[in-house]
Amino acid sequence: MQEFNQYQTPCHVYDLNLLRQTLNVVQTESKKYNFKVHYALKANTNEKVLAIISSFGLGADCVSGNEVKTAILNGFAADEVVFAGVGKSDEEIRESLEANIFCFNCESYEELEVINEIAGELQTTARVALRLNPNVDPETHEYISTGLSFNKFGFSQAELERFFENRTQFSSLEVIGVHFHIGSQIRTDQPFINLCKAVNFYLGLFEENGIHVQNINLGGGLGINYEEPDREPIPDFANYFQIIHENLSYCEDQQVHFELGRSIVGQCGNLLTRILYRKENGDRNFLIVDAGMNNLLRPALYNSYHKIERLSSGRNGLRQKYDVVGPICESSDCFGKGIELEDSKRGDLLSIRSSGAYGQSMELNYNLRDRAKVYYLGE
């Protein structure tokens, strides 16, 4: 507590020991089944965080040329980098081929044509996995649901048929796998079971068309407990990998991959903020804090819940309900409505919990605001 008082706010605070403990569990549980886990950089690209994750031997899942470069610069092996995304530019493709990454997760027939052409120009062979759209409902927020047939992601059945018909034309491609990602913040087993059923169907389809894929990438999506982060600081990776192992029909010569983001870094970060002002409008008590939606966009963008706690010690035991809002000129700049906290005032410190994933990485400079400072525990 003392040390938090010295921090300049707003600030992201990372618990690096929790990150290490989480990674230990990820590696222990995934290795039981010989699964390969890639860290989805989009969740957090803080360099200290990346250095620790790469030191545990995870691969990287990237969605832009800059993420590919950042991964390699921060210790991830190029031959363990996968590159996904519906809109890879020619330059990003060229640079990733030159870096000799493990695999492109391709999202459309036209993208296969472009990668094939660029690989041909560079006189190399591109390893690709086809991202298939399995039409599985992840039962999560619609903005982070990606595996339904009307989402923009992945090959449709029709495009896949076209690939089977014309696959001999792609002389500079080696199709080494299939890729899926149905969505994010998935907190129940059923969507993953449904995903496995869909993957089993597609593996059969590939076999029927004479392709025995070597790599099966199931993407990410395992959720975290935003309501009670201290009850579940490390997600239940044992259950997750077991569910996949039990429901996926794969052979010994097929490598199963994952791209986990939120579940690895989500609980390791909190956003600390100080109360600037307190005021009443209508029947509401507002706490106006020095962090804004530019520092943590999730509540404004997805109406998502982050637990808010007071770090300053209690003063009179009284509790009140507050709307905790930021300084930005948008009504959506709100971290929580009707949040019950001890009587709070200007200068008190609050912690907005579970911001390690999609917090700092989605930070903006809207209103020309500064980025939040960053501090580390357990360095």
- Give me 287's structure tokens: 């706490």
Judged by CB under 6 A, the residue of 10, 261, 299, 356 near ligand LLP is 261
Distance (Å, whole) CA 38 – CA 125:
22
Instruction: Please state the closest distance from residue 125 (CB atom) to ligand LLP, in A.
Output: 23
- Count, residues near ligand LLP per rule CB under 6 A: 23
Question: Cβ contacts of residue 58 below 8 Å, gap of 6+?
Answer: 23, 26, 27, 37, 38, 39, 76, 80
Distance (Å, whole) CA 59 – CA 72:
10
Residue 149 or 320: the one with the smaller Cβ distance to ligand LLP is 149
Instruction: Please state the closest distance from residue 278 (CB atom) to ligand LLP, in A.
Output: 29
Instruction: Please state the closest distance from residue 5 (CB atom) to ligand LLP, in A.
Output: 29
Coil, strand or helix: which one is 148?
Answer: coil
Instruction: Please state the closest distance from residue 222 (CB atom) to ligand LLP, in A.
Output: 6
Binding mask 174-213 for ligand LLP (x = CB under 6 A): -------x--xx----------------------------
Q: Is residue 13 near ligand LLP by the rule CB under 6 A?
A: no
Q: How far is CA 27 from CA 43, 53, 112, in A?
A: 18, 11, 33
Question: Given the rule CB under 6 A, which of 52-60, 259-267, 336-344, 345-353 is the region that contacts ligand LLP?
Answer: 259-267
* Integer Rg of the chain from CA: 22
Name residues contacting ligand LLP, limited to 26-85 (CB under 6 A). Answer: 40, 42-43, 61, 84
Report which of 236, 238, 223, 213 is spatially closest to residue 182, judged by C-alpha positions.
Answer: 223
Classify the C-alpha dihedral 66-70-73-79 as positive or negative: negative
Residue 192 or 358: the one with the smaller Cβ distance to ligand LLP is 358
Q: Is residue 259 near ligand LLP by the rule CB under 6 A?
A: yes
Residue 96 or 344: the one with the smaller Cβ distance to ligand LLP is 96
Instruction: Please state the closest distance from residue 62 (CB atom) to ligand LLP, in A.
Output: 10
Instruction: Please state the closest distance from residue 296 (CB atom) to ligand LLP, in A.
Output: 9
Q: Is residue 130 near ligand LLP by the rule CB under 6 A?
A: no
Residue 215 or 344: the one with the smaller Cβ distance to ligand LLP is 215
Instruction: Please state the closest distance from residue 239 (CB atom) to ligand LLP, in A.
Output: 15
Beta strand pairing status for 173-179 and 126-131?
Answer: parallel
Coil, strand or helix: which one is 219?
Answer: coil
Residue 26 or 287: the one with the smaller Cβ distance to ligand LLP is 26
Coil, strand or helix: which one is 256?
Answer: strand
Contact between 300 and 330 (Cβ < 8 Å): yes
Instruction: Please state the closest distance from residue 319 (CB atom) to ligand LLP, in A.
Output: 30
Distance (Å, whole) CA 71 – CA 81:
8
Report which of 350, 224, 199 is spatially closest to residue 288, judged by C-alpha positions.
Answer: 350
Q: Is residue 220 near ligand LLP by the rule CB under 6 A?
A: yes
Beta strand pairing status for 59-62 and 36-40?
Answer: parallel
Question: Given the rule CB under 6 A, which of 22-30, 119-127, 219-227, 283-291 is the region that contacts ligand LLP?
Answer: 219-227
Instruction: Please state the closest distance from residue 317 (CB atom) to ligand LLP, in A.
Output: 35
Distance (Å, whole) CA 227 – CA 353:
9
Classify the C-alpha dihedral 344-349-351-355 as positive or negative: positive
- Give me 242's structure tokens: 């077991």
Residue 162 or 187: the one with the smaller Cβ distance to ligand LLP is 187
Site residues (vs ligand LLP, CB under 6 A): 40, 42-43, 61, 84, 144, 146, 181, 184-185, 219-222, 259-263, 298, 302, 357-358
